């Protein structure tokens, strides 16, 4: 979709505080020689929906548990709301957590589960009941207060876990893969609801997930993590369109990689020579650090468009379809380009008959040089 | 529910019937002869009476034995359950080298010949200079009860979702508060179940009590003593019937509680919608 006007996400204009809520400074967590988290530094802002995204074992859950107080940094410091968290146990931290297993107390009903943390506060004059009702309404569970945990569906349990944490009015709500146990449809519905809820309550949410679509759909900003290190912190759009390296690019979805030789480098742009695409002038990403004379260019499969009949484009590349895969609303084409060592992946919507292009056809693809993002080798 | 196939008729059902008869026929004789008017257990039955039951509370030696059994049973079940809780918690909660071996060693008394255990314990007690009393019986019973206690408690603790305790701490509760408000209510059925199982085992146990007791008899020892007198047999049968019923009831309650505890801890996760 080159140069379509970007539709702003509804919350993009929301005024966000620049005040830091969680400050993670050089945090390392070692288990013997193994570093689950390696020198992580990160600032999460007040009122932000922040996601920690990465494959299993990347350290995202370790980091979340250290914010909650269930684990402690081997070195480095964590502060929440300006207060250092060192030595403060989970029960005295201004954070609440939604557990992956939901951890609903099975011997208590929904109301008792939600009121669990309030009991200690000894609220006066029906305040406790009022707050429980309010929390249940926030997660659309009004009227289910007397149900036992064992009588709830997976989605309902998740809502109870949310209400139980929100009722405490924490500064930060931590969510550990909260949607992973739900089926696809319910998961997508809950993504929207969680996002709405976060905007309604204005609490800082920190979500741990391995699902890139979940992170892209819900977050204000995302930290992508690999092997205990934070690879990139940016908005979903930036992460998707301008990944800092091949690993991040790959994790966020399909990406075609093209080898390039740097011809010219200046402040904001790069001129590179490629086989297949020829000489290209493209933006130099802020995070780009030159490493020798080579670079890698990446282009998302949906940024390559099939040119029909005699249509032309300012930038095009010619090739031959070698494979075609049908996915309902889109078709996935594998196109061999002379000079490129790997064929390009192209996803095309089926409106114009991409699903009918025979294998072996010679086609031309249009692209926008801006869509080719440079990554250091 | 899985679909269950019915047994084919004929010889297989006959086998199943014989099987059950073999298991329970001897047990059935006890209540039958305990309400028979004749003093000797012989067919044909002579008539129905509750006289033997009525005589029971009028026998001081029996009441003493019942009291002794109660003391031993309560003490042994409490001790065995406390020790069982500690061991079961460690085995289900932590992973450490030798965990399986330790578990095996704790369960071993289950298959050791009781008479050997009894003799060994007698030697140990005498070496330690302990005089034989109900206290030594309690020690012996704790030894044989622990495997049972462990079995019940492990199944109750297994799968106890650790995040429940973390959730409690996360919601502001202290370590003690978490134990009182989450851990204890969750495992209470298993603990009660363990107490009942241990009490039942102690109540029925003969050999160890026989070796380790001094002058005070427990119920099984009292029964053993009465067998020398043919005239006392109907009373023994009546007492035996009561013990049988009590054991059966206690074990049933214990099993129901154990299953409830296991269901509570294992249903966690929210993976079913």
Question: What ipTM goes with this model?
Answer: 0.81
pLDDT at B8: 60
Of A195, A214, A246, which one is at a domain's C-terminal end? A246
Residues A74, A184 share a domain: yes
For residue A334, the domain's CATH number is: 2.40.50.100
> Which residues on A lie below 8 Å from B272 (Cβ)?
153-154
Band the pLDDT of A148: cuts 50, 70, 90: confident
Residue showing tokens 């932000």: A48
Q: Is residue A202 part of a domain?
A: yes
Q: Kindly state whether residue B90 falls inside one of the protein's structural domains.
A: yes
Tell me, what CATH number does B82's domain have? Answer: 1.10.3720.10
Query: Could you tell me which residues come within 8 angstroms of residue A11 by beta carbon, excluding any fewer than 6 positions away?
Result: A195, A199, A220
Within 10 angstroms of residue A126's Cβ, the number of other Cβ atoms is 9
Residue A245 has pLDDT above 50, yes or no: yes
Whole-angstrom Cα distance, residue A205 to residue A221?
A: 11
Cβ within 8 Å, pair A157-B164: no
- Considering the domain boundaries, does residue A232 fall inside one? yes
Q: Please indicate whether, in this complex, the C-beta atoms of B271 and A92 are within 8 angstroms of each other.
A: no
In sequence order, which ranges of A202-318 are alpha helices (DSSP H)?
A: 212-218, 236-241, 246-251
What radius of gyration, in Å, describes the C-alpha atoms of chain B?
A: 23
pLDDT range class, residue A337, cuts 50, 70, 90: very high
Burial of B129 (0-12, 13-18, 19+ CB in 10 A): exposed
Contact yes or no for A179/A157 (Cβ under 8 A): no
Q: Is the peptide bond before B145 cis (omega within 30 degrees of 0)?
A: no
My answer on whether A89 and A166 are in the same domain is yes
Comparing alpha-carbon positions, the chain B residue that sits nearest to A115 is B171
pLDDT, chain B, mean? 84
Q: Are B66 and B220 in contact (CB under 8 A)?
A: no
Question: What does the block give as tokens for B62?
Answer: 């029996």
Strand order, beta sheet including A278-283: A278-283, A269-274, A256-265, A294-299, A373-376
Which domain CATH number covers A36? 3.40.50.300
Which residues make Cβ contacts (< 8 Å) with residue B243, sequence separation at least 6? B203, B204, B219
Residue A5 falls inside a structural domain:
no
Partner A contacted by B185 (CB < 8 A): yes
| Contact (CB<8Å) A103/B272 | no
Counting the structural domains of chain A, the total is: 2
pLDDT tens sequence across A51-76: 999 999 899 999 999 999 999 999 99
Q: Which of A269, A273, A267, A266 is nearest to A294 (CA)?
A: A273
Do A30 and A128 lie in one domain? The reply is yes
Domain count, chain B: 1
Predicted confidence at residue A325, as pLDDT, reads 93
- Do residues A301 and A238 share a domain? no
Those residues with Cβ within 8 angstroms of residue A244's Cβ, 6 or more apart along the chain or in another chain? A231, A232, A285, A287, A288, A375
pLDDT of residue B6: 58
Identify whether the C-beta of residue A119 lies closer than 8 Å to the C-beta of residue A113. Answer: no
Last-in-domain residue among A246, A277, A294: A246
CB contact under 8 A, B171 and A100: no
Q: What angle do CA A345, A351, A354 make, to 5 degrees?
A: 40
Q: Does B184 touch chain A (CB under 8 A)?
A: no
Asked whether residue A207 falls in the same domain as residue A272, the answer is: no
Query: Residue B157's pLDDT band (boundaries 50, 70, 90)?
Result: confident
Q: Does A117 touch chain B (CB under 8 A)?
A: yes
Q: Which domain holds residue B250?
A: 29-266
Degrees, nearest 5: CA angle A140-A135-A221: 85
Query: Is A194 in the same domain as A269?
Result: no
The B residues from 138 to 167 touching A (CB cutoff 8 Å) are: 161, 163-164, 166-167
Q: Specify whether A202 is located in the same domain as A296.
A: no
| Beta carbons of A103 and B268 less than 8 Å apart | yes
Determine how β-strand A34-45 pairs with β-strand A20-31: antiparallel
Say yes or no to pLDDT of B198 above 90: yes
Q: Would residue A9 count as lying in a domain?
A: no
Give the CA angle between residues A38, A42, A44 to the nearest 5°. Answer: 145
Residues A298 and A246 sit within 8 Å (Cβ to Cβ): yes
Residue range A280-325, pLDDT digits in tens: 888 888 777 777 788 889 999 999 999 988 888 889 999 999 999 9
Residue A331 backbone phi and psi in degrees, to 5: -120, 140
- Cα–Cα distance list, B152 to A231, B75, B95, B158 (Å): 49, 18, 20, 10
Q: Based on the domain organization, do A76 and A220 belong to the same domain?
A: yes
Domain that holds residue A88: 20-246
Segment A104-122 shows an average pLDDT of: 91
Please check whether residue A235 lies inside any domain of the structure. Answer: yes
Interface check for A107 against chain B (CB to CB < 8 A): the answer is yes
**Weakest mean pLDDT among A326-335, B9-18, B34-43:** B34-43
Q: Chain A within 8 Å of B54 (Cβ-Cβ)?
A: no
- Distance from the A93 Cα atom to the nearest Cα atom in chain B, whole angstroms: 8
Q: How far apart are CA A87 and CA A302, in angstroms?
A: 49
The last residue of one of the domains, among A214, A246, A278, is A246
Strand runs labelled E in A71-171: 75-80, 83-84, 95-98
Structure tokens at B131: 């005089």
Interface A–B counts its CB contacts (< 8 A) at 86
The conformational region for residue B172 under phi > 0 = left, psi -120 to 50 = alpha, else beta, is: left
In a domain, A7, yes or no: no
């Amino acid at each position: 979709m080159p140069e379509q006007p970007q539709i702003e996400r509804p919350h993009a204009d929301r005024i966000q505080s620049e005040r830091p809520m969680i400050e993670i400074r050089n945090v390392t967590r070692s288990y013997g020689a193994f570093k689950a988290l390696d020198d992580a530094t990160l600032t999460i802002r007040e009122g932000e929906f922040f996601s920690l995204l990465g494959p299993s074992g990347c350290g995202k859950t370790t980091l979340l548990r250290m914010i909650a107080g269930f684990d402690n940094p081997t070195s480095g410091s964590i502060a929440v709301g300006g207060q250092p968290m060192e030595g403060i146990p989970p029960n005295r931290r201004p954070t609440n957590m939604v557990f992956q297993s939901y951890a609903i107390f099975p011997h208590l009903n929904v109301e008792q589960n939600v009121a669990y943390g309030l009991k200690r506060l000894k609220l006066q004059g029906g305040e406790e009941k009022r707050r429980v009702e309010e929390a249940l309404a926030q997660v659309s569970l009004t009227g289910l207060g007397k149900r036992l945990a064992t009588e709830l569906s997976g989605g309902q349990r998740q809502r109870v876990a949310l209400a139980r944490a929100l009722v405490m009015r924490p500064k930060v709500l931590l969510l550990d893969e909260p949607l992973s146990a739900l089926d696809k449809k319910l998961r997508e519905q809950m993504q929207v609801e969680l996002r709405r809820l976060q905007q309604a309550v204005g609490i800082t949410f920190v979500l741990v997930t391995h699902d890139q679509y979940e992170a892209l759909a819900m977050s204000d900003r995302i930290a992508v993590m690999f092997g205990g290190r934070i690879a990139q912190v940016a908005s979903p759009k930036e992460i998707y369109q301008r990944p800092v390296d091949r690993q991040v690019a790959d994790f966020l979805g399909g990406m075609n990689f093209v080898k390039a030789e740097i011809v010219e480098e200046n402040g904001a742009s790069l001129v590179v020579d490629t086989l297949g695409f020829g000489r290209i002038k493209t933006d130099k990403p802020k995070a780009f650090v030159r490493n020798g004379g080579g670079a890698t260019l990446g282009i998302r499969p949906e940024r390559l468009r099939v040119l029909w009949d005699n249509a032309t484009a300012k930038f095009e590349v010619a090739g031959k379809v070698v494979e075609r895969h049908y996915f309902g609303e889109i078709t996935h084409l594998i196109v061999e380009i002379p000079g490129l060592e790997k064929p390009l992946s192209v996803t095309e919507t089926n409106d114009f008959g991409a699903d009918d292009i025979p294998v072996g056809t010679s086609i031309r693809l249009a692209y926008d040089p801006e869509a080719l993002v440079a990554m250091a080798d | 529910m899985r679909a269950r196939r019915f047994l084919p008729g004929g010889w297989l059902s006959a086998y199943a019937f014989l099987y059950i008869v073999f298991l329970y026929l001897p047990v059935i004789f006890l209540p039958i002869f305990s309400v028979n008017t004749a003093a000797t257990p012989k067919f044909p039955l002579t008539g129905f009476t509750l006289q033997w039951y009525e005589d029971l509370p009028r026998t001081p030696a029996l009441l003493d034995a019942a009291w002794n059994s109660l003391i031993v049973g309560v003490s042994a079940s409490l001790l065995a359950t406390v020790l069982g809780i500690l061991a079961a918690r460690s085995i289900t909660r932590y992973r450490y080298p030798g965990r399986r071996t330790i578990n095996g060693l704790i369960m071993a008394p289950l298959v050791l010949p009781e008479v050997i255990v009894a003799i060994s314990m007698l030697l140990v007690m005498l070496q330690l200079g302990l005089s034989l009393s109900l206290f030594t019986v309690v020690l012996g019973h704790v030894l044989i009860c622990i495997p049972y206690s462990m079995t019940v408690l492990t199944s109750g603790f297994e799968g106890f979702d650790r995040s429940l305790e973390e959730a409690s701490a996360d919601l502001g509760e202290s370590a003690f508060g978490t134990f009182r408000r989450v851990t204890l209510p969750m495992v209470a059925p298993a603990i009660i179940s363990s107490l009942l199982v241990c009490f039942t085992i102690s109540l029925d146990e003969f050999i160890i009590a026989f070796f380790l007791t001094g002058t005070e008899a427990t119920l099984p020892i009292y029964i053993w003593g009465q067998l020398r007198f043919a005239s006392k047999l109907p009373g023994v049968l009546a007492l035996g019937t009561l013990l049988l019923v009590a054991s059966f009831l206690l074990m049933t309650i214990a099993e129901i509680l154990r299953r409830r505890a296991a269901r509570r801890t294992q249903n966690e996760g929210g993976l079913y919608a």
